[in-house]
Every structure is written in structure tokens, then in C-alpha cells.
Amino acid sequence: MKINNALVSRERIVRQWSQQQLADMTGLSLRTIQRIENSGNASYGSIKSIASVLEVSAKDFLAEKNNSWLSLKLALLSSLLASFLYFSLASAQPVMLDVAVNSAQENLASVQLLNETGEESEFRIDELLKVTFIAEMTRDKKLKIRVKAYELSSDGEKLLGTPVVITSNRKAAMIKFEGGKGMLYEIVITPDYKIQKSIIN
């Protein structure tokens, strides 16, 4: 069926994902993602996987000429919602994030943040930066981390970016931001989501 391939590309780019990352998250092949974004031709299963990962209503991906699929789309949305709620509740678990923030080869901060998947963690570096994290488990047992970084000043907060990274247990992921006056920030996140119970009790 024909879908809105421009929306797929836009939603992927907003999250700062590569086509390979989207393929990994959905369980589809890189070639399939490339074909969908280039031609707009996708199967029902592909639409369902992409909609679930991008957290966008499946009906938004369907081209206008597919209005005859209305009942199918409504059923798909209900199924996606139920699956999302079940998966979120079933996968909640403690996650430790080792976070290092660097700038100009200087370490600005190193912290450990303990939280549960789906909950937001936040830390600040003096009056310089505020960074928030939300970690979620993927179906293939990797960790998807949503990051928001703000530069702080007397004028308030300036959003630097909202990237999403996908990584494995104890495998570092790196994010880079450009702040005011050409200042470059590097954030290195190393998750540990197989924490011993004795640590969190």
C-alpha cells in the first residue's frame, strides 16, 4: 500500500536517527526502510512496526487514497496502543546511567543517575547546562534513551537538541551539541540495566 514516505523521513530525522537505527528499532531491513522512504510503498506489517517505534498514529502514515482502510486503521491503532501499554508496564526496570559531560577536552561533570525505564532523570551543571534523560527498553533488549539538553543563561533556557540514542548494556553512546558562542558539548552515556538487587534495595 502507499504511505506518506515524507512523514516517515521527517519523523526519523527529527529524532536524529539514521536509516540503519530505524531499521534496527523496527526489526526491518535497511533496504526496506530505504525503499519505504524513497517510494512510499510499504506492507501492513511495516507500517505497524514503524508507527510503534516512532510513536506516531499509524493513520498519519497512510496516503489519502487509502481511506477505504479506515476500519483497518482504527483496529491497528487500538492494537498498537494496547501493545505499547503492555510493553511499557512489563518492561519497567531500574537503569543506571553513567553520564560524562565534556567540553573542549575538559570534563565538566560525571554523574550516575538511577531511575526506572520510562521515568525522567535530570541533572544540571551549575548555571551552564541542564540535561534530561528518559530510558526505554526496546523489543530486542536494547536501551533507547531520549535526551534533551538545555543551555542555561540569565535569559533562561535554550534547547540545544532532543536526540534519541540506542545502545546496549554497558556500551557507551555519544551525543554532541553546539551551544552559544560556538561552544561544543559532548555527552557520553553508559547504561547499566542489569543492576544487582542489592544495589537498589
- Which of 42, 61, 90 is a domain's end point? 90
pLDDT tens, position by position, 126-171: 888 999 999 998 888 899 999 999 999 888 899 999 999 999 999 9
Q: How much is the mean pLDDT over the chain?
A: 82
CATH code at 75?
1.10.260.40
Residues 127 and 84 in one domain: no
- Which of 41, 69, 90 is a domain's end point? 90
Residues 22 and 56 in one domain: yes
Question: Looking at this protein, which amino acid is placed at residue 43?
Answer: S
Residues 49 and 116 in one domain: no
pLDDT tens, position by position, 65-78: 444 445 555 556 65
Residues 153 and 122 in one domain: yes
C-alpha 74, offset from chain centre: 25
How many other CB atoms are found less than 10 A from the CB of residue 41?
A: 12
Residues 134 and 192 in one domain: yes
Residues 175 and 111 in one domain: yes
| Dihedral angle of Cα 82, 83, 88, 91, to the nearest 10 degrees | 140
Residues 42 and 115 in one domain: no
Residues 126 and 193 in one domain: yes
Residues 184 and 125 in one domain: yes
Residues 56 and 19 in one domain: yes
Residues 85 and 104 in one domain: no
In the chain, the number of structural domains is: 2
Checking if the pLDDT of 198 tops 90, the result is no
User: Between 44-54 and 19-26, two packed helices, what is the crossing angle to 10 degrees?
Assistant: 110
Helices (H), the chain: 5-14, 19-26, 30-39, 44-54, 58-61, 70-90, 197-200
Checking if the pLDDT of 100 tops 80, the result is yes
Residues 155 and 176 in one domain: yes
C-alpha–C-alpha distance, residues 35 and 101, integer Å: 38
- Can you give the residue range of the structural domain that contains 130? 94-200
pLDDT tier at 84, thresholds 50, 70, 90:
low
In contact, 163 and 75? CB cutoff 8 Å: no
Ramachandran class of 27: left when φ > 0, alpha when ψ lies in -120 to 50, beta otherwise:
left
Checking if the pLDDT of 43 tops 70, the result is yes
User: What confidence score (pLDDT) does residue 110 get?
Assistant: 92
Give pTM, 2 decimals: 0.53
- Which of 90, 107, 136 is a domain's end point? 90
User: What confidence score (pLDDT) does residue 69 get?
Assistant: 47
C-alpha–C-alpha distance, residues 141 and 161, integer Å: 26
Q: How far is CA 2 from CA 48, 55, 73, 161, in A?
A: 14, 19, 14, 32
Q: What share of the chain is helix, strand, coil (3-state, %, to 5)?
A: 40, 40, 25
